[in-house]
Amino acid sequence: MQLMAKSNVLLLGVGGLGIEIAKNVVLAGVKSLTVQDAKKTTIQDIGTQFFLTEDDASQSRNRAEASVPRLAELNPYVTVKASTETLTEDSQLDFLCDFQCVVVTEATIGLQLKINSFCRCQQPPIKFVSADVYGVFCWAFSDFGPTFEVVDSTGEEPKQCFVANITKANPGIVSTLENRMHHLESGDMVTFKEVKGMTSINGMTCRVEVLTPYTYTVCDTSGANFAPYQGGGIATQVKFSKTVKFKSLEDQLYCPTYMSPDLGKPDAPGSIHLGLCALHAFLKQHGRLPNVRCDTDAGTLVNIARRLNDTEMLNKVDEVDETLVRRLAYSCQGCLPPLCAVIGGIVAQEVLKALTGKFSPLKQWIHLDATEVMMGVDPPEREDFKPRGTRYDALRICIGEKLCQRLAGLRLFMIGCGAIGCEMLKNYALLGLASSEKGMISMTDHDLIEKSNLNRQFLFRPNHIRQPKSTTAAQSTQELNPEISVTKRLLCCLVCPDTESSMYTDAFYESQDVIVNALDNVEARRYVDSRCVTTQRPLLESGTMGAKGHVQVIVPHLTESYASQSDPPEEEVPYCTLKSFPSQIEHCIQWARDKFESSFSQKPSLHNKFWEINRSPEEVTQKLQQGVPLEGVVQVLKLDQSRPQCWGDCLVLARLKFEKYFNHKAASLLCAFPLDTKLKDGTPFWQSPKRPPVPIVFDKSNKLHTDFVVACARLYADINGITVKPQDLQLKDIAEMLAHIKTPEFRPSTKPIETDETVKNDQSNKPEETSYDCDEMMMVAERMTELSHTAPAVFQKMSPLSFEKDDDENGHIDFITAASNLRAAMYGVAEADRLRTKMIAGRIVPAIATTTATVSGLVTIELIKVVLKAPLEHYKNCFLNLAIPDMIFSEPGPAVKTTLSNGRTHTLWDHWRIQGRPDFTLKQFIDAVKEKYDMEPAMVVHGVKMVYVPIMPTHKKRLSQTMLKLLKPSPSKEYVDLVVSTDTENNEDKVMPLIRYFFKDR
Summarised one tens digit per residue, pLDDT across range 251-288 is 999 999 999 999 889 999 999 999 999 999 999 999 99
Q: Does the pLDDT value for residue 714 go beyond 90?
A: yes
The residue with greater pLDDT, 815 or 757, is 815
Domain assignment present for 200: yes
Among 238, 262, 285, identify where a domain stops: 238
383 exposed, middle or buried (CB, 10 Å; 0-12, 13-18, 19+)? Answer: exposed
> What is the largest distance, in Å, between two alpha-carbon atoms of the chain?
103
Between the alpha carbon of residue 745 and those of residues 320, 664, 667, 670, the distances in Å are 85, 9, 11, 16
Closest CA to 337 of 111, 48, 770: 48
Domain assignment present for 372: no
Tell whether 705 and 748 lie within a shared domain. yes
Which pairs count as long-range contacts for 510-513, CB under 8 Å and 24+ apart, including other chains?
510/535, 510/536, 510/537, 511/411, 512/411, 512/412, 512/413, 512/442, 512/537, 513/410, 513/411, 513/412, 513/538, 513/867
The pair phi, psi for residue 604, each rounded to 5°, is -60, -35
Average pLDDT on 599-619 reads 88
| CA–CA dist 425, 414 (Å, integer) | 9
Closest CA to 698 of 786, 574, 822: 822
Q: Does the pLDDT value for residue 765 go beyond 50?
A: no
**Catalytic, out of 576, 588, 712, 878:** 576
| CA–CA dist 272, 262 (Å, integer) | 13
Domain assignment present for 35: yes
Closest CA to 339 of 102, 11, 20, 554: 20
**Left, alpha or beta for 800 (phi > 0: left; psi -120 to 50: alpha)?**
beta
Quick: pLDDT tens for 948-996: 998 888 898 999 999 999 998 888 788 899 999 987 656 677 889 999 9
Quick: pLDDT tens for 98-122: 999 999 999 999 999 999 999 999 9
The residue with greater pLDDT, 492 or 797, is 797
Domain assignment present for 532: yes
What is the percent of the chain with per-residue pLDDT over 90, rounded to a whole number? 71
Contact 964, 881 (CB under 8 A): no
Contact 945, 476 (CB under 8 A): no
pLDDT of residue 448: 84
Tell whether 654 and 556 lie within a shared domain. no
pLDDT of residue 570: 64
Tell whether 591 and 668 lie within a shared domain. yes
470 exposed, middle or buried (CB, 10 Å; 0-12, 13-18, 19+)? Answer: buried
Between the alpha carbon of residue 550 and those of residues 428, 501, 880, 883, the distances in Å are 19, 31, 6, 14
Sign of CA dihedral 211, 215, 216, 218: negative
Domain assignment present for 263: no
Tell whether 48 and 144 lie within a shared domain. yes
Average pLDDT on 284-309 reads 96
| CA–CA dist 46, 388 (Å, integer) | 14
Domain CATH number, residue 129: 3.40.50.720
pLDDT of residue 768: 45
Q: Does the pLDDT value for residue 309 go beyond 80?
A: yes
Domain CATH number, residue 970: 3.10.290.60
Among 890, 916, 943, identify where a domain stops: 890
Among 150, 174, 200, identify where a domain stops: 150
Tell whether 620 and 633 lie within a shared domain. yes
Tell whether 610 and 654 lie within a shared domain. yes
Quick: pLDDT tens for 50-91: 999 999 999 999 999 999 999 999 999 999 999 999 999 999
Closest CA to 130 of 288, 12, 269, 273: 12
Tell whether 44 and 132 lie within a shared domain. yes
Q: Does the pLDDT value for residue 629 go beyond 80?
A: no
Q: Does the pLDDT value for residue 692 go beyond 80?
A: yes
For residue 719, the one-letter residue type is: I
DSSP string, 541-592: EEEEEBTEEEEEEE-TTTB--GGGS-PPPPPPPPHHHHHT---SHHHHHHHH
C-beta neighbour count of 935 within 10 angstroms: 22
Domain CATH number, residue 801: 1.10.10.2660
Q: Does the pLDDT value for residue 770 go beyond 50?
A: no
Q: Where are the alpha helices (DSSP H) in 878-957?
A: 922-933
Bridge partners of 148, per DSSP, are 244
Domain assignment present for 371: no
The pair phi, psi for residue 60, each rounded to 5°, is 55, 45
Tell whether 435 and 529 lie within a shared domain. yes
CA 180 to chain centre: 25
pLDDT band at 843 (very low <50, low <70, confident <90, very high): confident
For residue 876, the one-letter residue type is: K
**Strand, coil or helix: what is 405?**
helix
Q: 570 is in which domain, residue-wise? A: 409-582+846-890
Tell whether 682 and 810 lie within a shared domain. yes
Tell whether 819 and 864 lie within a shared domain. no
Contact 498, 505 (CB under 8 A): no
pLDDT of residue 783: 80
Q: Half-sphere exposure (CA, 13 Å, Cβ side) for 269?
A: 18
pLDDT band at 352 (very low <50, low <70, confident <90, very high): very high
User: Which of 290-304, 373-387, 545-559 is predicted with the least confidence, judged by mean pLDDT?
Assistant: 373-387
Average pLDDT on 450-474 reads 84
**Cα first-last separation, the chain:** 62
Contact 832, 840 (CB under 8 A): yes
Quick: pLDDT tens for 148-204: 999 999 988 899 999 999 999 999 999 998 878 999 999 999 999 999 999 999 999
pLDDT of residue 688: 84
Average pLDDT on 701-714 reads 94
Q: Which helix (H) or strand (E) holds 415?
A: strand 411-415
Task: Report how many helices (DSSP H) and strands (DSSP E) the chain contains, helices first.
Answer: 30, 31
| CA–CA dist 850, 108 (Å, integer) | 26
Closest CA to 662 of 506, 819, 857: 819
What's the mean pLDDT when you consider all of the chain? 91
Domain CATH number, residue 181: 2.40.30.180
Tell whether 604 and 711 lie within a shared domain. yes
User: Which of 298-302, 346-350, 529-533, 950-954 is predicted with the least confidence, judged by mean pLDDT?
Assistant: 950-954
| CA–CA dist 914, 591 (Å, integer) | 50
Catalytic residue flag (residue 576) = yes
pLDDT of residue 761: 63
Average pLDDT on 594-622 reads 88
- Which letter does DSSP use for residue 332 in this model? T
Tell whether 726 and 688 lie within a shared domain. yes
**Strand, coil or helix: what is 227?**
coil
The pair phi, psi for residue 362, each rounded to 5°, is -70, 135
Quick: pLDDT tens for 220-234: 999 999 999 998 899
Contact 187, 261 (CB under 8 A): no
Between the alpha carbon of residue 114 and those of residues 88, 280, 605, the distances in Å are 10, 15, 70
User: What is the count of structural domains for the chain?
Assistant: 5
Domain assignment present for 990: yes
Average pLDDT on 785-791 reads 77
Sign of CA dihedral 952, 957, 963, 968: negative
Residues 6+ apart with CB under 8 A from 155: 358, 359, 546, 547, 883
Q: Which helix (H) or strand (E) holds 277?
A: helix 268-286
Domain assignment present for 270: no
| CA–CA dist 495, 487 (Å, integer) | 16
Q: Does the pLDDT value for residue 767 go beyond 50?
A: no
